[in-house]
Chains A and B, each alone.
Chain A
């Protein structure tokens, strides 16, 4: 049963056999010849395998001679099913050594029938690698091939694809496409050959060129839009994509052209989302009433979600002076009006003293909801965080855009941040004009609640009287400046 290994007339060049197969994926042809050689006990070293198309051809090979006739009583070789399955895949590989490798394994299997189980054997590993590469190529063709629709002479649609497989897999893959697109007319064009299906019969065609296939399809715009929209920029993993969809496939996939742009834009898109909760606010409100109703529904920060009601600004629609505080306090929240608590009353008193008409000014807050902590039964004011101020900037900017004041007075650090977008020192920046991007003049001073917290300890530096005097000075300067601007 086992052929003698030293059969034949030595291994001198020219004494071997040359086998030419009909096609690069001709498994049946290979099996026929391999059986015959094996029965005639021709060892692998004496056989040279050639596929058509010059693949693996040797110019100096011996002239073809007829294959040896095996003895009539030589038994039919038997191999495991595992080998046949693997060989059917491996033979489709582009490696020109595949026929010889398969015959060598077949030869060795005769003396060691369980060889295929030995994954540590170099030949077994080799065929396994070939078979796996081919299976992957087959799978990727099923996945990445794209049809484009054309109208035929009889008005029917035909779906045509151009694909460049790496190995000889076209015929092996035909069945899947027939089973899947049975009721469709389709053609698959490749550099190795073509397949045409008309609903009943599958025909083979000669090798094709890219220019034979249609160059576009209107549905591809929709598909590209889908591809871009289903991508989540917060989870960029380019390596994972490349592993499964290497660049070599990109040129025939309509959506792949978007990849560089999506990758480049992803980090910016995520950064925008993360920034301050990155909220899409939509379009700016068209009126102060719209601002008031929108802030009431705003839940974009934790203060907005604490269950309090929002306090809108108030004052004439075209006020020349806009006064910005920090946030509504306990009384303001209950009444729904800004600056009516203790700090608001202090502010109003000083404004009167300096000749500024509070009713002519638009008064509002940097943050629209009341942030507090419960201590016993009292709601104690808490300062908003920079992030919360930045989130709420949208609203105070919307108010600015509607009122268009000539001058803005920011009370305290929170209001200053809401106007400037950065935290500044009130003591350093107070008492002089700042110019905002749109040209509006900004003045900064302390918040009246700061004055309320100071102890009334006479005329010491940092004492309440000194600070109130400075506060009044700031207001006077603003009043004077407003007259100048008139």
Chain B
């Protein structure tokens, strides 16, 4: 077989990596290339250098080192039994590509993952080697995200964090049963064990930095994970519960949800029909409610129906508000921040604006209109100096008044 060109291999290995949702380049330590020998900086805020027509941001060069894999996970395009084309890069080739792209301002850095060749530790060593060459030989100061292989030697996992800004291990499926069925070579205990190791390494390094300025940094961008939605039977309530447990136990920066998407050469165990993309969106919204709006996981779960699924035709915050109408209306001129954050249609920024403005004036509806995107959406839930929703919260047709008009996302390929 003739050797494939770099172009051909880039095509194969980028295609193989695109099912990982994360492309974040934010939240790491600030640094720049002044006084260094190379290039690169991180300025706190991530930069999305392009957007693909799937609406996803392209911030990092996201590729696999190789898509050869000894594992046989049903949902994965790179599984052993898949008929996909295979390719591999050497660590030096990945380094050259990263630098060439970075110099032209195409990317913020590298997100490197890999199929498992030979064994987990060998693969992990290769990944680390890429990061080492970039950092040591080229003094590269851009962003590096390394996917960590839970089955690898913990010693190697710890080394990954010394070079990388962010490390991640995918829990893959929200339930252990799903993992056992769809990823027979992986073990939930092993995955969680490795996430625990990473967490303690991150915490220890932070602590050491507080005492010794010269202590090495360990994954200053923290760790994240991803789970696939719609490939097993887990309900939204299950997923929300699992996500909040993961946030709590492992101090994760982010949990990514990836709607299972049809892959070429899919295993027959998987559903052919993809879950609606809007389901993934609703899960992200509920994730935000927990992280920025002070909702407890149980409260988000209350917004779900009796099968544990969040409504697709409205956001979880509105669904919760319609279920717990006794909390409303909220007086915008008096209510506490936590209460304001519960009003459907008020985001964190609008709430901050209201808190600032009401120190200087008694808010009227016209003021609220200037502070929010849609007055119609918030009106039934608020009280202002000149407005009180008479009986509105008791109306049975309230949902029709405030919920979005189009009931469901139209499926392109519905029969």
Contacts and interface: CB of A to CB of B under 8 A. Distances in A.
A185 to B, nearest CB: 11
A121 B361 CA distance: 10
A441 interface: no
Contact of B7 (A176, A182, A225): A225
Contacts of A223: 101, 104, 106
Nearest to A159: B103
Interface string B343-382: 0000000000110110111010001001100000000000
A219 B100 contact: yes
Given A147-B103, A223-B106, A183 B39 contact: yes
B264 A235 contact: no
Interface string B61-86: 11100000000000000000101100
Contacts of B395: none
Interface string A280-307: 1110000000000000010111101100
Interface in A146-168: 146-149, 159, 161
A118 B277 contact: no
Given A227-B50, A230-B58, A119 B371 contact: yes
B101 A145 contact: no
A120 B371 CA distance: 6
Contacts of B41: 176, 179-180
Given A221-B7, A280-B265, A181 B53 contact: no
Contacts of B261: 232, 234-235
Q: Which of A120, A178, A184, A262 has the most CB of B within 10 A?
A: A120
A281 B20 CA distance: 25
Contacts of A450: none
Given A145-B105, A219-B100, A305-B269, A231 B50 contact: no
A219 B45 CA distance: 27
Nearest to B84: A280
Q: Which of A114, A227, A297 has the most CB of B within 10 A?
A: A227
Contacts of A225: 7, 10-11, 14
Interface in B236-272: 259, 261-269, 272
Interface string A191-228: 00000000000000000000000000101111101111
A contact residues, range = 35 or more
A277 B268 contact: yes
Interface string A220-262: 1111011111111111111111001100000001010001001
Contacts of B39: 180-184
Contacts of B47: 139, 142-143
A431 to B, nearest CB: 35
Nearest to A119: B353
Nearest to A161: B105
Contacts of A318: none
B296 to A, nearest CB: 29
Contacts of A114: 359-360
Contacts of A253: 50
Contact of A146 (B18, B35, B105): B105
B263 to A, nearest CB: 7
A109 interface: no
A125 B370 contact: yes
Contacts of B48: 143, 244
Given A267-B412, A278-B262, A301-B268, A222 B55 contact: no
B91 interface: no
Contacts of A120: 353, 357, 361, 363, 367, 370-371
A184 B142 CA distance: 14
A230 B265 contact: no
Contact of A117 (B51, B63, B267, B356): B356
B108 to A, nearest CB: 9
B104 A305 contact: no
Nearest to A139: B47
B413 interface: yes
B17 interface: yes
Nearest to B355: A117
B265 A279 contact: yes
B10 A304 contact: no
A40 to B, nearest CB: 28
B391 to A, nearest CB: 28
Contacts of A161: 105
B89 interface: no
Q: Which of A176, A223, A226, A240 has the most CB of B within 10 A?
A: A226
Nearest to A82: B356
A47 to B, nearest CB: 26
B367 A147 contact: no
B43 A176 contact: yes
B19 to A, nearest CB: 7
A117 B360 contact: yes
B262 A117 contact: no
Nearest to A122: B370
Given A226-B61, A230-B58, A236 B359 contact: no
Given A119-B353, A226-B14, 11 more contacts: A180-B32, A219-B100, A225-B10, A226-B61, A227-B50, A228-B11, A232-B56, A234-B262, A238-B55, A241-B54, A273-B262
7 contacts: A147-B104, A179-B34, A225-B14, A234-B262, A238-B55, A277-B266, A280-B264
Interface of B: 6-7, 10-12, 14-15, 17-19, 32-41, 43, 45, 47-58, 61-63, 81, 83-84, 97, 100-101, 103-106, 259, 261-269, 272-274, 277, 353-354, 356-357, 359-361, 363, 367, 370-371, 412-413
Interface of A: 112, 114-115, 117-122, 125, 139, 142-149, 159, 161, 176, 178-184, 217, 219-223, 225-241, 244-245, 253, 255, 259, 262-263, 266-267, 270-271, 273-274, 277-282, 297, 299-302, 304-305
Shortest Cβ-Cβ A-B pairs, 3 listed: A240-B55, A237-B55, A119-B353
